[in-house]
Chain A
Amino acid sequence: MTLHQMKIISDIINKTLIYLILSLFGLSMIFPFLWMLSTSLKDPTLIFTSSINLWPSPIIWRNYLEAWNAIPFGRFYVNSTIVAIAVTAGQVVTSSMAAYAFSRLRFPGRDKIFFAYLATMMIPGMVTLIPVFILLKTLNWLDTYKALILPGIFSAYGTFMLRQFFMTLPADLEDAAKIDGCSLWRIYWQIILPLSKPALATLGTFTFLGNWQSFFWPLIVTSSEKMKTLPIGLSYFQDIYTTNWTLLMAASVIVLAPALLIFILNQRFITQGIALTGLKG
């Protein structure tokens, strides 16, 4: 056996091992999702059996219909979509503008203001919960989209993350634009933003997912059925003492699907964004 052949063989062994380990990890990650999918299609009496059986037999499609009809899913879907998209769009716009100012513009007290803003991340949400609630009540905004959206569209975290990213962009690009007579607004719009797509996509995806799953805030500020969001709807399948597993899992699949789609579509950007900024949600 030549040295070359040995190298090839050891390469193959190495790769096999690595792929085996990765597959095992991957399987353990995906198992809960498979269980969810399989439970959502099972007969309620067949969920908990002594041997793990992922293939439902018979397949009960009816679970989805029942879950869909048990709560006003359509309305909750619309609400969740509006809230998640609006908060995401708002956060990407406000955070990127603030981050541009904090990273590129020069004005007195810039860094002090930035750190003060950053410090707000240290205050737990529970502390501001009741003051914000009182504020919304005074404005007569409770149980409206405003209460669901507006408090969420400013984010110290998003500003911080984008500022760090903008600082890595070469200043020469900007200088060149300035020499050509480009305005600040145009630099932000035509140079900074297009260069920051991975960071923006990462922020956007995490904000979207976070809001899509958000439970406590919508629960607190909404009271009518018309304003509720999907995670609140999901919790209706669990009562104090009993849980309707098949319906809960069917409903979970319905709720999870768009979030999964968003993640898959943006996956390339997200991994790039994480690698570039060293941050994740």
Chain B
Amino acid sequence: MFGKFHSAIIFAGIIAVAAMAGCGKKADSSSQPANPDAVPIRIAFWGAVEEKEIITKTVTDWEKNNPNVKIVLEHIPSGSYTDKVLTEIAGGNPPDIIFCEVNIFVTFFYKDALLDLAPFLAEDKNFDIKDFFPEVVGRFSRDGKILCIPRDTAPFACIYYNKNIFDKFNMPYPKDDWDMNQFLAVSKKLTFDENGKHPDEEGFNEKKIKNYGFWGWTWQNFVYSYGGRVVDDVNKPTKCLLGEQAAIDGVQMFVDLSYKHFVSPKPDSLTNMGMNINQLFTMEKLAMFQSGIWETPNLRKIIGNKFAWDVAMFPKGPGGKRGFGTGGSGYAILKTCKYPKEAWEVVKCLAGSTGQEMLADTGLAQPANRKIAEGKFWAASPKAPLNKKMLNQAVQYVLYDPFHPLWREASDKYIGQQMDLIIHNNIPVKDGLEKIASKINAILEKK
């Protein structure tokens, strides 16, 4: 009996030793004959399986024509991306090129980690930054420097709608220039309880709603549409404006959709149903929802030919005001990069047309390059949603999150917490927003 036990320990020990002996060599990811003089360029990026394949294909194709560069792709899960890259920078093993989302960009900017790309742009005749949406380039520019080349933009401006449900109620499809009142009226008509009664009708039972008209998550859009702002100046925030009347009106409208007009599921009832919004929409229990375009690949896959759907622009607010929160991303070169010239060529490839076209074709991301965004892979693409060109109009109304080193932290801590109370209708909108404003102001006043 002892023998058996001991041999188990010895066996485990042998495996341990063998594993360590076997790892003497560094893993080499390429099987092609490598050019010994090739310059190594490491790219850190994230993305789901399909996006990763597109990026990998883009750079491997490029590598074939550029044997002087050896590209090393470092695919990192999105949730831990910033942690991993910051550790690598702090530990002296940074990548050369990083994929940057518009808010992660701010973090890297304040770490002073990014190389100014303006000199490359000035010299390079084959690459014109004017081809890109100026709003997106603006986010990545600071003090006359351009620190990141945009890949895609993602205004939270889409109202996805189920054409089937509109047809059933004989309603015209939403138009991009509709306003908040029309939007509310439509939402009410498409919401009904188990007896088929709509929210404004006699006998409507808000506890037994069968189909909802609308759901959205971007309270910012409502603030902007009512003329409010999150801060006084996105690029140089000095004061939080969420406590002002316009912002309060906007968020009040957002909350009222669930608690006064009953057209949106309440956060609690969503939890009770155990469903997320995508599921509600694809199961045809929700007529419209608001989000960014990135929902598209999933919707295409799940909906298939079950029903027709499209997107319309988020409605105008009182007085025709508009404004959308936005995402987006691009590629930046780190200051520590040893071969910036070669890295620049790689960035051009990554932000170049092939990759953007393939990505646009999947529906996941709106190209930041206007020419591609207006071309056959996006605005003129025959794939659902057909109204993707609307997003090219929407870009002019985007408002980024405030550019401030502590914004992400402050937003998670204060805005997230109070907003949670507000959307659960636990505190009055005004109280919550004023609290947020005073907390955020305390942070902005600190120099």
Residues of A within 8 A of B (CB): 44-45, 47-50, 52, 70-71, 82-83, 85-86, 88-90, 92-93, 129-130, 133-134, 137, 140, 142-146, 149-150, 153, 189-190, 193-194, 197, 215-216, 219-220, 223-227, 232, 235-242, 244
Contact = CB atoms under 8 A, between A and B. Distances in A.
Chain B: interface residue count, which band? 35 or more
B144 interface: no
Nearest to A70: B49
Contact of A145 (B19, B52, B78): B19
A146 B5 contact: no
Contact of B76 (A194, A219, A227): A219
Interface of B: 2, 5-6, 9, 12-13, 15-16, 19-20, 22-23, 26-27, 29, 42, 46-49, 51-52, 72, 74-80, 83-84, 87-88, 90-93, 101, 273-276, 278-279, 282-283, 292, 294-295, 298, 301-302
A145 B23 contact: yes
B87 A130 contact: yes
Contacts of A44: 301-302
Q: Which of B75, B273, B295, B301 has the most CB of A within 10 A?
A: B75
Contacts of A223: 42, 72, 74
A90 B93 contact: no
A52 B274 contact: yes
Contacts of B46: 239-240
Nearest to A242: B298
Q: Shortest 3 CB-CB distances between A and B: which pairs?
A: A145-B23, A89-B12, A235-B77
A26 B278 CA distance: 32
B16 A50 contact: no
Main secondary structure of the interface of A (DSSP, over half): helix
B41 to A, nearest CB: 13
Contacts of A215: 80
A70 B49 CA distance: 7
Contacts of A143: 26-27
A153 B78 CA distance: 29
A47 B2 contact: no
A37 to B, nearest CB: 17
Given A219-B77, A223-B74, A190 B16 contact: no
A45 B283 contact: yes
B299 to A, nearest CB: 10
Given A50-B275, A92-B9, A236-B49, A219 B80 contact: yes
A238 B93 contact: no
Contacts of A227: 27
A88 B9 CA distance: 10
Contacts of B75: 225, 236
Given A144-B26, A239-B47, 12 more contacts: A47-B279, A48-B275, A48-B276, A49-B283, A50-B273, A86-B16, A89-B12, A223-B74, A224-B27, A238-B77, A240-B46, A244-B48
B269 to A, nearest CB: 11
Contact of A85 (B6, B15, B273, B278): B15
B443 to A, nearest CB: 24
21 contacts: A48-B273, A88-B12, A89-B9, A90-B16, A130-B91, A133-B87, A137-B92, A144-B23, A216-B80, A219-B80, A219-B84, A223-B42, A223-B72, A224-B27, A224-B74, A226-B27, A232-B77, A236-B48, A237-B49, A239-B48, A239-B78
A226 B19 contact: no
A125 to B, nearest CB: 12
A85 B48 contact: no
Given A45-B283, A86-B15, A146 B20 contact: yes
A45 B75 CA distance: 29
B407 to A, nearest CB: 18
Contacts of B47: 239
A220 B84 contact: yes
B22 A145 contact: yes
A172 to B, nearest CB: 19
B139 to A, nearest CB: 17
A220 B20 CA distance: 19
Contacts of B93: 133, 137, 142
B27 A89 contact: no
Nearest to B93: A137
Nearest to A88: B12
Max chain A C-beta neighbours (<10 A), residue from B6, B47, B88: B88
B359 to A, nearest CB: 13
A49 B93 CA distance: 47
